[in-house]
Structures are given as structure tokens and as C-alpha cells.
Structure 1
Amino acid sequence: MAIRLGRIGYLNVLPIYHPLESGIIENDFEVVSGPPSKLNILMDEGKLDISAASSIEYARHAEKYYLVPDIAIGSRGPVQSVLLLSRFPVEELEGKTILVSSQTHTSAALLSVLQSQHWNITTDYSIGSASFALQNGDRPDAILAIGDEALNLRYHPEYPHRIDLGEAWRELTGLPFIFGVWLVQRKSWEEHKEKLMDAAKKLIKGKEWGTANMAQICSMAAEKSCMTDEEMSSYFKGLVYDLGPEEKEGMLVFYRHLKESGLIERIPELIFIP
């Protein structure tokens, strides 16, 4: 049985997946790529065995999953690829509408937390593609852009106010923010424990290879982007790929805010593969 592995279709996971997809680390994964929202649904439906997923997906359905230890995707400050792009200063967004990317769950929840806990504003939301809206001449009051789209739109001349949600979270809590984690289906674990343990180890080896060869990763990523090698290096330096004590604390603080806001029913315990 080939392990069904979910891959976020963004540059930020290149350090983890390049050594796996290029054969540097041998594997027989069946890789399924997509935005976080798609992978969340596939994991919830039991169609993937192990996958990158939004940290809020674990909070919503923790009983279905184990966390993979020592691997995550987040930031300890500016993340650069989760941005609120606005035509107005953030304090002037009260009562206005924010276009939120349909590809995100965690970032949308983080935006809601920051609005209530950090900026003390209330806004309306619409769901859609920022790139599509802008190409069609629409100019929303503000845009929540994530991933490669955020990197491409971050200097849009009609959106002079750029709020980095990773940096805003750090200002609010002093903690890292974990946008994505790697999850294992508990049902799959019961049936294929050894193969999934091996898959988790290979993901961690991928992370270790990627972070040790970051200059090569940055050059590869820049070839597929409008960013220079220097800009790409700055981007990757701001990312967190570990899931240590501070990162776990940041996750639990986020979950507490989500519960207080009614976005999740309870704060889950962080339970890792046995």
C-alpha cells in the first residue's frame, strides 16, 4: 500500500518536499497536492493517510488525528505570505468588507482573533480569489491573501497598508504562530502503523535536509517566483519548521482564543503519534 501524502501547493513547504519528490530521500508516497482548505477536507474525509493541514483542522477534529512531532510551518514574527492588504489603515476598516482567500481556514480564523483581541474592529467578509477580483477591476476594501498569492500581491500599489498576520500575532502574544501541522489519520495508523511511522520519519528527514540546504532551496524557489534570490532568502529565514515548546504554546494560546470566540467547541490536547 502506498501512503497517501498531502502536500500544500505553496513554496513554503519546498524545503520539506523537494528532497522527497526529487528522490534524495527514497519513498513510495502517493502525493496529493492542493491548498490547505482542500487538504483539510481530504483529511476530514479520510482520503489521505498523512498530510500537511491547517492547525485549525487539528483543533476541530483532534479525535481523528495524531500530530507528527518536530515538524510544522509557521513564523516567529513576519511570515510575509499571510497578509492583510488594505486600502485603509487597519483602524479605519471598521464596518468595511475584507475579501478572504477561499484557500485558507487558519489564517481566516487568525484574522478574526486579531480583529477582536488586537485591533478592536468588526468587519464583514466575502470569500473569493483576490487575483481574480483584481484582474476583473474589483477593488475590495481589504484582502486577506495567503501563500504565493500574498507574495505576488504584497506591493500592489492600490493597497498601501500591509499587515503581516504573523507579526501581528507576535505583537499580541509574544509567541510564534503555527499555520500548518502534519497530521496522521488515527484509523490509518491502526491499520498501517509501521508504514506511517516510516513516513513520519521521512518527512522529518526531508525537513532536516531542506533546512540544511536552504541556499539551494531559495534559488530553486526564486526560479518559480517573481522574487529575487535575496528576497526569497529573507522569506524563508522568517519561517519556522520546528514544533518545539514555544510553538506548541503558541498553538494552545491560539486555540484558547478560538474557543473564546466560539470558533471551536473545546481546546484540544496536543497528542502525537505513539
Structure 2
Amino acid sequence: MAVDRPTTLGCVSYLNAKPLIDGLACDGLRVELGVPSSLLAGLVDGRFDAALCPVIDLFRSPVPLRLLPVGGIGCRGDTLTVRLFSRVPLEDLRGVAVDRDSHTSVGLLRVLLHRRLGRVPALEPEEMRDADLAEAVPGGHEAALLIGDKVVTHEPPAELYPHQLDLGGAWARAFGLPFLFAGWLTPRAALPSRLERRMEAVRARNLARVPELVRRHAAGLGWPAGLAEAYLGRILCYETGPEQLAAVRRFGAELGRLGLIENAERDLLGLPAAAVTP
């Protein structure tokens, strides 16, 4: 007799995802963790029914994806955890080491640097998980884009990197919109309505108990409790409402202007596949 496999969701292990996934797994529902850049492959090969993917994957996926309106990871200003650290003024940048773990943040950096400088310095993917920027930037570059918990737990020293840019704040100042870094994406035409209701209910429940999430998760991830509570409760935004959809559309349009994607104008809640310019 055939045994139905459980519904499987892919997600990141960062602190910022805890409001969306803490308590989500249950009988018949499994959550698997990975770095942001690995999750799209799980959707494409069918391992995941949905995944908390970088939003740029909506535009670069080889299969059609749609955004589930059940929450995501975003901001209305500075993020703390998506930041450019530079030894030289940004106007003098020639090359930036970018975190292999992220796709959306690298695309966002391209958009922001082009808007500010009129050009995009060379962006070179590097392994940043164990990088010690107090010694040197991987690849010998003068700047590095870092994402995730390590930006707080192993923050590069300001005396070595006096020129910094928080990408969430820079986007808000440039476009007057919030930003959505990650959202629940799926290739499925439909998911069980009870699954989407559960995902929304878990998000609402967790946002009402941020201090408890902090007590359970912050120390193990290297976060000071007070900073973690501010980060989850006030700095980040977990909505996927009209403003966030407008931000994703604007992000797609800006990527399209730079020739990074094609056919950026689309229905985000039911997207066709997008061709990506190498």
C-alpha cells in the first residue's frame, strides 16, 4: 500500500525565520532547514511543496512559482543583518565580496549601487560563513556584503570598515517602500487550504510571543536577548500585503532595467516562469 509523503516546507535557520516556523511542523507537515540560496533547488526538484525563498527566485526560477500571502521576511528600514562593509568610500568601490548564501541581497546591492554610483562594481561570490573580516575580506576585496545572524554575532570592526550601508534602509530611502527579502514560494497550483491557514496562524501566534521566541532561540544563535527582541519585534516586518507586493514589483522592474531578468511585469501570486539573463 502506498504511503503518502508528508507535506515538506523548506526554510532558513536564521533567527529572523523563527516567527514563521516555530511550532509549524506537525503530523504530516515537515520543515527542512537550509541556506537561502539552496531552497529554490528543493522546489524545482520536488522535495519541497513550498519554501521560504529569496524573492528574487520568483523571477529567476526555471519553473513557475507563486507567492503565498501568508507572511515573509521584510523590513521598512534598516535590517541589521543585510549590510555592506567597506574599507573605502562607496564611490571608490572597485570590487565587493558577496555572500554565497544570498541571492536577493546581491540583486538588491546591484540595484542600489547602480542608483547611487551610476555603475556596479565587480561582485564576486565568496564563502562568508566562517570568514573573519578582522583579518581580510575573502578574495582580497575592499568590501563585503554579509547577510544573516553572522552580521550581528561576528560584526566586522567599524574601525576597519568605516563605510557601511544597510540595504533595507537604503532601499526605503531610495524608493519609499518596504522591502521583502524572502517569502513562501510554491510551484503548486494549489496547496491544501488548511496548510495556508496553519502557516498564517503560526505567524500570528509567534509575533504575539516574541519574548518567548527570544528566550528559546537567541542565545543558541549568538544573539544578545535585548537586540534579538528588538530585531524580531520592531525592526523586521513579516507581512505580505499590498505594500510588500508593490515593493517586489518595483524590485523586479529595477532588476529588469539592469538586464538581470526578463519579463519582470507579472502577477506575483501566480507567476509564469521567467527567463534570466546570465
TM-score, normalized by length of structure 1?
0.88
Alignment-derived partner of residue 117 in structure 1: 115
- Residues 90 and 219 from structure 1, CA distance in 2 versus in 1: closer, same or farther, beyond 3 angstroms? farther
Please state if 1:217 is matched with 2:213. Answer: yes
What amino acid maps onto 2:123 in structure 1? Y
Alignment-derived partner of residue 199 in structure 1: 195
TM-score, normalized by length of structure 2?
0.87
What amino acid maps onto 1:11 in structure 2? L
Contact 1:48 1:185 in 2 (8 A): no
Alignment-derived partner of residue 179 in structure 1: 181
Provide structure 2 residue ranges, at least 5 long, that are not aligned to the other structure. Answer: 272-278
Contact 2:78 2:166 in 1 (8 A): yes
Which deviates further from its counterpart, 164-173 or 70-79? 70-79
- Residues 27 and 176 from structure 1, CA distance in 2 versus in 1: closer, same or farther, beyond 3 angstroms? farther
- Residues 75 and 135 from structure 1, CA distance in 2 versus in 1: closer, same or farther, beyond 3 angstroms? closer
What amino acid maps onto 1:221 in structure 2? H
CA distance in 2, matches of 1:52, 1:159: 31
Which deviates further from its counterpart, 46-55 or 103-112? 46-55
What amino acid maps onto 2:12 in structure 1? I
TM-aligned CA deviation for residue 91 of structure 1: 1.9
Contact 1:19 1:209 in 2 (8 A): no
CA distance in 1, matches of 2:214, 2:62: 34
Please state if 1:166 is matched with 2:168. Answer: yes
- Residues 130 and 62 from structure 1, CA distance in 2 versus in 1: closer, same or farther, beyond 3 angstroms? closer
Contact 1:16 1:203 in 2 (8 A): yes
- Residues 160 and 226 from structure 1, CA distance in 2 versus in 1: closer, same or farther, beyond 3 angstroms? farther
- Which of 222, 240, 243 matches 1:243? 240
Please state if 1:259 is matched with 2:261. Answer: no
Alignment-derived partner of residue 274 in structure 2: none
Sequence identity of aligned pairs in percent?
28
- Which of 95, 119, 136 matches 1:138? 136
Provide structure 1 residue ranges, at least 5 long, that are not aligned to the other structure. Answer: none
Alignment-derived partner of residue 108 in structure 1: 106
Q: What value does the CA root-mean-square deviation take over the aligned residues?
A: 2.1
CA distance in 1, matches of 2:55, 2:92: 29
TM-aligned CA deviation for residue 217 of structure 1: 1.4
Q: Write the deviation string for residues 148-190 of structure 1: whole angstroms up to 9, x where unpaired.
A: 1222233424223221000000010010010001012226x4x
Please state if 1:53 is matched with 2:53. Answer: yes
**Number of matched residues?**
261
Contact 2:82 2:105 in 1 (8 A): yes
What amino acid maps onto 1:210 in structure 2? N
TM-aligned CA deviation for residue 218 of structure 1: 2.3
Alignment-derived partner of residue 230 in structure 1: 226
Alignment-derived partner of residue 70 in structure 1: 70
CA distance in 1, matches of 2:41, 2:62: 14
- Residues 226 and 32 from structure 1, CA distance in 2 versus in 1: closer, same or farther, beyond 3 angstroms? closer
Which deviates further from its counterpart, 75-84 or 11-20? 11-20
- Residues 184 and 198 from structure 1, CA distance in 2 versus in 1: closer, same or farther, beyond 3 angstroms? farther
Contact 1:82 1:144 in 2 (8 A): yes
TM-aligned CA deviation for residue 135 of structure 1: 7.1
User: What is the SS of the residue equivalent to 1:130?
Assistant: coil
Alignment-derived partner of residue 21 in structure 2: 17
Alignment-derived partner of residue 125 in structure 2: 127
CA distance in 2, matches of 1:115, 1:73: 22
The structure whose residues are more often helix, as a share, is 1
